Amino acid sequence: MQHKKFYEWSIKLLDVLIEGLFNPPPTFGTLFSLLEQSDEGRSLIRSLMISGVDICDDWFESPELKIALTKFCAEDLISPRTKGTGFVIFSLIPLMHKYGGGIAVGGSGALSEAMGRCILHHGGTILTSSPVEKVIVTSGTAKGIVLRSGEEILAEKAVISNLHAKQIPFLVGAENVPEAYANSLINLNQSSHRSICTGYALHEAPNFTGGDEINESCTVTFATRSYEEFLRIYDDYEYGYTHTEMPIITCQTRIDPTRAPKGKHTMHLFHHEPYQLADGGAARWDEIGEEIADGILHALQKQTTNMGPDNIIGRWVETPLDLERRNPAMIGGDYNHIGRYLHQMMANRYLPGWGYKTPVERFWMCGPSTHPGGSVCGGGRAAVQAIMEELGIDFEKVIER
């Protein structure tokens, strides 16, 4: 019954949290003074400040349940024992219960393509393979951008970037940011761990020995049996040690057959890993990436009947180092840009007091470095509201159109 009580408690907070995802956040001062007005609010403050492990200890006894719940914290690239991560548990659990998870038919790229068609439909232009080298700044105001090709594109109203907050001084020029601000950017904390992602083309979907119910699932996650062992793995990541026994297995074609030719399948094996390896730093990923991917596949092979070489048509491997190379905004292979710790959440993201602004007028931030952080969650809506307000555009009127 305790899990029902937990759900009833957390679902009450969900609407508030959902509202917070799509709107610019209040400052910590405002939020906390509001919460301090009631018993429920005061209890929420405590829950915000403690860790996922602490929340589970408050509510549950079963180690299996604690592992299942705290793995949600870890999906957010934060170690479940880190203080200030409790909110991940009481936001993700009711969120999944009420709305479930979702994937785009045709792959996540289909979502970007749909948004791209919307931009083109409204007269916008999209340039791809056009890295931005610099923001043109004149008298402290952003006037446009310079591409790596040397081409200059001037901005009528604003320049908005979803790159990493730490890139701001390089984009606008160090002379355009105060020293204290630049130092605060350097001190931003990245996530506790990163991920290795491997993609497979398969003849058959994995056949789990665990039974039919598992085989019906699009996503299956592995963990150790012992809670202590599970938590120690996240401690190991902090010290640069790799693991292969706890993949998340997503076979997209179980629910979206468009991903592969008729009858064939696609699968991602995703595993948390450190970025800086204890033996050789990040550069060592180029040596051990394939070996780690093999280890993760082996973990799956032990729980399935058909994941031998005959079933595998092909695979690609993306280590944290590969991810950083593919997407330079994901510094250190961190797809949340900076850790989703309480001190870097809501109005404290990317830096307290800055919201979506930067020291350069008309140059704004959005994307994973800002509230509500990384993930495909529609968080850009909050950034748009804040920027439109600065530009004197009525957000409500634009939404009505």
Q: How far is the CB of 143 from ligand FAD (least distance, A)?
A: 17
Cβ distance to ligand FAD smaller for residue 72 or 208 = 72
Question: Residue 179: which region, alpha, beta or left (left: phi > 0; alpha: psi -120 to 50)?
Answer: alpha
Q: How far is the CB of 29 from ligand FAD (least distance, A)?
A: 28
Q: How far is the CB of 340 from ligand FAD (least distance, A)?
A: 11
374 binds ligand FAD (CB under 6 A): yes
CA–CA distance, 176 with 187 (Å, rounded to integer):
19
Contact code string over 148-167 relative to ligand FAD, x by CB under 6 A: --------------xx----
- Segment contacting ligand FAD by CB under 6 A, of 30-38, 152-160, 181-189, 368-376: 368-376
Q: What are the beta bridge partners of residue 142?
A: 137
Q: How far is the CB of 319 from ligand FAD (least distance, A)?
A: 11
**Which of 323, 345, 382, 386 is in the footprint of ligand FAD by CB under 6 A?**
323
132 binds ligand FAD (CB under 6 A): yes
131 binds ligand FAD (CB under 6 A): yes
Cβ distance to ligand FAD smaller for residue 377 or 393 = 377
Cβ distance to ligand FAD smaller for residue 110 or 132 = 132
Q: How far is the CB of 42 from ligand FAD (least distance, A)?
A: 31
- Segment contacting ligand FAD by CB under 6 A, of 88-96, 210-218, 350-358, 374-382: 374-382
CA–CA distance, 348 with 335 (Å, rounded to integer):
18
Q: How far is CA 158 from CA 154, 311, 382, in A?
A: 9, 51, 16
Is the CB of residue 158 less than 8 Å from the CB of residue 364?
yes
Token reading at 105: 């038919």
Torsion angle of the four alpha carbons 124, 125, 129, 135, in this order, in degrees rounded to the nearest 10: -80
328 binds ligand FAD (CB under 6 A): yes
Cβ distance to ligand FAD smaller for residue 131 or 178 = 131
Token reading at 156: 């009528």
321 binds ligand FAD (CB under 6 A): no
CA–CA distance, 9 with 90 (Å, rounded to integer):
9
Q: What are the beta bridge partners of residue 235?
A: none
197 binds ligand FAD (CB under 6 A): yes
CB within 8 Å of 279: residues ≥ 6 apart: 240
Is the CB of residue 226 less than 8 Å from the CB of residue 65?
no
27 binds ligand FAD (CB under 6 A): no
Cβ distance to ligand FAD smaller for residue 82 or 195 = 195
Cβ distance to ligand FAD smaller for residue 154 or 180 = 154
CA–CA distance, 43 with 32 (Å, rounded to integer):
11
Count the residues of the shown chain that bind ligand FAD, applying the rule CB under 6 A. Answer: 17
Q: What are phi and psi of 309, to 5 degrees?
A: -60, -30
**Cα Rg, the chain, nearest whole Å:** 22
Cβ distance to ligand FAD smaller for residue 50 or 193 = 193
Contact code string over 239-268 relative to ligand FAD, x by CB under 6 A: ------------------------------
* CA neighbor of 308 nearest in space, from 294, 319, 292, 289: 294
**Which of 269, 368, 384, 386 is in the footprint of ligand FAD by CB under 6 A?**
368
80 binds ligand FAD (CB under 6 A): no
367 binds ligand FAD (CB under 6 A): yes
Cβ distance to ligand FAD smaller for residue 44 or 332 = 332
- Segment contacting ligand FAD by CB under 6 A, of 151-159, 237-245, 327-335, 381-389: 327-335
**Which of 115, 120, 376, 391 is in the footprint of ligand FAD by CB under 6 A?**
376
Contact residues toward ligand FAD (CB under 6 A) are 131-132, 162-163, 195, 197, 323, 327-329, 335, 367-368, 374-377
